[in-house]
Amino acid sequence: MTHTLLQNPEILKKLFHPKGWDKFEPLDPNTRNIAVEVDPNIFIRGLLYPAAAHSPAILFFHSNNETVADLDAFADFFIQMGITLLLIDYRGYGISDGIPTAINLLSDALKVFLATEHIFKSNNLNPERLYVLGRCLGAAAALEVAFHAKDKIAGVILESGFAETLPLLERLGIDISQLDEERDGFGNALKISRITVPTLIVHGKEDFLISPEQAEKLYRNSGALEKQIVLIPKVSHNNLMIVGVSQGKSPYFEAIRKFIFNK
């Protein structure tokens, strides 16, 4: 997988939609600003939402059309469950430096993962377990981390994720006639087949952008002995996190709670 054709500027314009959050103030006053140097003088930034010192933690990679700021309102749901949350942007997103590319998405994700020990320690945290979560395009980043981290993480969570890259690109309006899944794709199906840590796949049954069939392919390909798939009815791509929240019966957060705490 060279990702060479994914680096085409016209493809990158449709794959990434960076936006800023320079005037954003987190709702939680305990939130910490995070910066990771991924290349000389290139920093990607995010926010750390601490729970208790030894609480399990999630490293969260968001979708291509949102930033850390867009997820701030949901951070408290993780904290209330007793989960420390580390949200990280991509290059060019939020107040991060640089320009997002397919190659940088993967390489930066690994560099952030390698920096997590320092990030937690410098904020007086020592999570008993670390999970990686990828939402939509972030699934590629999460699987890249899980593929290389192996048993250094406790598990992987894929939200609205995809096994095959080309159907997503086509749905985004990209001409895929010159692309080859094996050569140019992110390789999610192959990577998940070699990931053996516990795996949770959450997807909306009415997802219009990434079909539930992609979630099912991820589940079938998963090499984990402990794996589960949660397909949420009457839920689409953009409302997976919010359905049921106001009634205190969110199937999304309940699936994550059961997965991490095994109850």
Q: What is the mean pLDDT of residues 204-233?
A: 97
> So what's the pLDDT on residue 4?
67
Task: Report CA dihedral (119, 192, 172, 108) to the nearest 10 degrees.
Answer: 30
Is 32 exposed, middle or buried (CB count within 10 Å of its CB: 0-12, 13-18, 19+)? middle
Q: What is the CA radius of gyration of the chain?
A: 17
Evaluate if residue 234 carries a pLDDT over 80: yes
Domain 5-261's class?
alpha beta
d(CA 216, CA 225): 16
* Short-list 159, 168, 149, CA closest to 210: 168
> So what's the pLDDT on residue 242?
85
> So what's the pLDDT on residue 137?
97
d(CA 99, CA 90): 8
Among 23-32, 159-168, 214-223, the minimum mean pLDDT is found in 23-32
The per-residue DSSP string of 146-161 comes to HHHHGGGSSEEEEES-
Q: What is the pLDDT of residues 235-251, one digit of tens each?
A: 999 899 888 776 667 99
> So what's the pLDDT on residue 244?
73
* Short-list 62, 30, 28, 58, CA closest to 45: 62
- Read off the tokens for 243: 């359905």
Q: What is the pLDDT of residues 75-101, one digit of tens each?
A: 999 999 999 999 999 999 999 999 999
Determine contact, residues 202/228, Cβ cutoff 8 Å.
no
Under DSSP, the state recorded for 197 is: S
Phi first, then psi, for residue 188 (nearest 5°) are -60, -40
Return the percentage of the chain with pLDDT > 90, whole number.
84
Under DSSP, the state recorded for 253 is: H
> So what's the pLDDT on residue 2?
56
Is 22 exposed, middle or buried (CB count within 10 Å of its CB: 0-12, 13-18, 19+)? exposed
Q: Where are the domains of the chain?
A: 5-261
Q: What is the pLDDT of residues 11-48, one digit of tens each?
A: 999 999 999 987 788 989 999 999 999 999 999 999 99
Evaluate if residue 123 carries a pLDDT over 60: yes
Q: What is the mean pLDDT of residues 161-169?
A: 96
Average pLDDT for the chain: 94
